[in-house]
Structure 1
Amino acid sequence: MPIFKPNLETTMTRRIIILATALCLPALSACNEQTKRPPAAAKFSTPAGLIEYLSPLPAVQKVEPWQNDYAQGITITTAHYTIHTTLMDPLMLRQVPGFMESAYRAYQSQLPEPIDTKIKFRTYLFADRAQWEQFTKGFAAPHANLYLKIVKGAYCLKGRCVAYNIGRTRTFAVLGHEGWHQFNSRHFVYRLPSWLDEGIATLFETSRYYQGGFEFLPGRNGGRLGSLKTALLADRMIPLTTLITLNPGQVVESPNAVKAYYAQSYALVRFLREADYGKRLVNYHNLLLAGLRGNWPLDPAIRQLASDRNIPLT
């Protein structure tokens, strides 16, 4: 019977295998133990964990449980906002308080002088559309069906901003947009013409995290710029004299017209603020300040239409 005599190469190979096994076994054991433990992030995906996680943030005044009919939730209080949410994403929620307060400062920058908000704005941010729809059916009744037609986004009604999670970037875009409507409906004596109101709201759709807060970048709003380019190339631009008399409800049946309406409103507001090195900015500020104070030179019937937000725009 032949006897196997390992050569030098075989011996070295065995030693390498034994050494590698000895080194890997502790690591494999540790990995196995690690998979058995719940990840640390799971702790912060509960109301109690989120309260602990979010409370130390500079923009946060307090965090507490939110009892509601839709899901487990929390209420985040900041200097100017009360935010009710069922979203349990700690990384996204960590940025929401700072985003809302940055948006508030950006809204103030539309005016030549700051105004004081004594009562906090109330915002609802739901984890998904099903919860959002359930809330809307009660909150927006008897007109809930109008709001349920919103495909992806949010709305502002009765001084409340109501949104649901559609991804971080788009969720922040709709919060910034609807937050402007919420801000001016609270403070302005006159409601703004739709082109002006919607045009300003689009300025807060694009932002970036910067030095602990958020910076708004209307020049990088690719969605509105793209829609403007499409309308120009397709020769579907709305005449200016028509644009300033429209409201979004009058174009809602045509997706292309809706996109053109918002894009042109965005462009018109940026023109008033930025064109020719901002030479119209003072007039722009004065226009808004007069709307804030109720000083527009309007006939009595138009004044009532401008000041009573319960009267439908025509």
Structure 2
Amino acid sequence: MPHARLYARNAGLPAVLVLSLVWRCSHTAWRKPIEFSENEWVSPSGNAGTQIVTEHYDLRVTSQDALLRQYLPLFMETAFEGYSSTIRPIRPNADRMIVYLFGTREEWAAFTKATYPAHAHTYLHLQAGGYTDQPSATAVTHDLGRDRCLSLLAHEGFHQYVARHLEGSLPAWLNEGLACQWEAFKLVEGRPVFTPKQNYLRRNSLRAALSGKDAFIPLSDLLGMHAGEAVVQTGQVVQSYYAQVWILILFLEQGANGKYARAFKQLLADAGTDRLDAAMSAYRAATPTAAKLSNGEIIFRHYITDDLETCSAEYFQFARQVVY
């Protein structure tokens, strides 16, 4: 039977939820409880589950972790507030974003093959078991354990937000780099506070990339890569990719004594608008060598700097300072 609940955003949770894992939204003060409803739901595989409906999300869950299910409304709505404060929604949409959280990888894989056959080959390479279908802004994940699952949901939640509320697309390095900023968090009086610099998963992968032979991806290559290219390659490449776009965002915000912070802020202001496409077209028209460059590199050169050689050295130095 369906029923509704109020979930206080500052409600305490058992200590077991506290993770070892603060973002620009950390000052957000939630003053009213979250309203959500719960209904019985049967998954496409025939497994009994729960449908949890909040202001912005339609969560369809077969995970048997009761505490995880209880915490989802607060967690996802807090993350949504952070997404919208990072990049303002260009096309507000009242339709709730659908999230599937399956109890097992087997159920997740079966759903993926049946629902997204054209992309299943790529998705099934994902060891973490999470992806977002861009046209429908639907996230599909499975239970990896409480802390990893919430981290994955926050990452995919950003991709959902971009797909649903922004016009066009973001360059992959920006989209994936920002999504990685939501992976690490701590609980303060039961409320998630996102801590991007304390992302130990990405930090460890970055350390491995910096210490391994030819493992660190050059900035010019990184700007042109798409996540799908990295996913189907070796483990080192995919881990380096995500770690490097994670640290790239932190570098643009904080590195080189704030040298690029204002430019990056302008990029975020233009993200998801026609101004981004206009800037790219203008750069191509004014730069004879632009035909050889990826869209991701063009956007970086237009908004951040055309001096990629200097920026690359500063980026590399910042990455080393963070992990060593």
> Could you tell me the TM-score, scaled by structure 2's length?
0.71
Deviation at 1:119, TM superposition (A): 1.8
Partner of 2:43: 68
Deviation at 1:237, TM superposition (A): 1.4
Q: Which AA in structure 2 matches 1:225?
A: R
Q: Which runs of 5+ in 1 are unaligned?
A: 1-47, 307-314
Measured at CA, do residues 161 and 167 of structure 1 come closer, stay the same or move farther in structure 2, by a change above 3 Å?
A: same
Partner Cα separation in structure 2 for residue 118 and residue 273 of structure 1: 31
Partner of 1:298: 280
Partner Cα separation in structure 1 for residue 102 and residue 89 of structure 2: 34
Q: In structure 2, which of residues 192, 195, 201 is the aligned counterpart of residue 223 of structure 1? A: 201
Deviation at 1:62, TM superposition (A): 1.0
Measured at CA, do residues 137 and 112 of structure 1 come closer, stay the same or move farther in structure 2, by a change above 3 Å?
A: closer
Partner Cα separation in structure 2 for residue 209 and residue 173 of structure 1: 13
Partner of 1:214: 192
Measured at CA, do residues 152 and 283 of structure 1 come closer, stay the same or move farther in structure 2, by a change above 3 Å?
A: same
Partner of 2:60: 84
Measured at CA, do residues 277 and 213 of structure 1 come closer, stay the same or move farther in structure 2, by a change above 3 Å?
A: farther
Partner of 2:17: none
Q: Which AA in structure 2 matches 1:244?
A: L
Partner Cα separation in structure 1 for residue 185 and residue 90 of structure 2: 22
Deviation at 1:211, TM superposition (A): 2.9
- Asked whether the 8 Å contact 2:75–2:191 carries over to 1, the reply is yes
Q: In structure 1, which of residues 159, 164, 167 is the aligned counterpart of residue 137 of structure 2? A: 159
Partner Cα separation in structure 1 for residue 240 and residue 98 of structure 2: 31
Partner Cα separation in structure 2 for residue 143 and residue 182 of structure 1: 17
- Higher Cα Rg: structure 1 or 2? 1
Partner of 1:282: 262
Q: Which AA in structure 2 matches 1:256?
A: Q
Runs of 4+ with deviation above 6 angstroms: 112-115
Partner Cα separation in structure 2 for residue 102 and residue 277 of structure 1: 30
- Asked whether the 8 Å contact 2:130–2:142 carries over to 1, the reply is yes
Q: In structure 1, which of residues 191, 195, 201 is the aligned counterpart of residue 169 of structure 2? A: 191
Deviation sequence 1:256-307 (CA, Å, 0-9, x none): 111111111111101112235655333223212322222122339x9xx98x
Q: In structure 1, which of residues 111, 136, 139 is the aligned counterpart of residue 87 of structure 2? A: 111
Q: Which AA in structure 1 matches 2:148?
A: R
Deviation at 1:114, TM superposition (A): 8.7
Deviation at 1:87, TM superposition (A): 1.7
- Asked whether the 8 Å contact 2:105–2:129 carries over to 1, the reply is no
Partner Cα separation in structure 1 for residue 116 and residue 90 of structure 2: 31
Farther off after superposition, 112-121 or 197-206: 112-121
Q: Any residues of structure 2 matched to 1:1-314 within 5 Å, and which?
A: 55-57=5-7, 58-70=33-45, 71-111=47-87, 116-157=92-133, 158-235=136-213, 236-251=215-230, 252-275=232-255, 278=258, 280-296=260-276, 297-299=279-281
Deviation at 1:239, TM superposition (A): 1.1
Deviation sequence 1:210-242 (CA, Å, 0-9, x none): 234211111111111111111111242111111
Higher relative contact order (CA 8 A, sep 6+): 2
SS in 2 for 1:244: helix
Farther off after superposition, 113-122 or 159-168: 113-122
- Asked whether the 8 Å contact 2:56–2:95 carries over to 1, the reply is yes
Deviation at 1:97, TM superposition (A): 1.0
Partner Cα separation in structure 1 for residue 253 and residue 129 of structure 2: 26
Partner of 2:301: none
Deviation sequence 1:90-145 (CA, Å, 0-9, x none): 21111111110111011122136897442211111111112112211211123323
Partner Cα separation in structure 2 for residue 286 and residue 190 of structure 1: 17
- Asked whether the 8 Å contact 1:108–1:114 carries over to 2, the reply is no
Partner of 1:20: none
Deviation sequence 1:73-92 (CA, Å, 0-9, x none): 11111111110111232211
SS in 2 for 1:269: helix
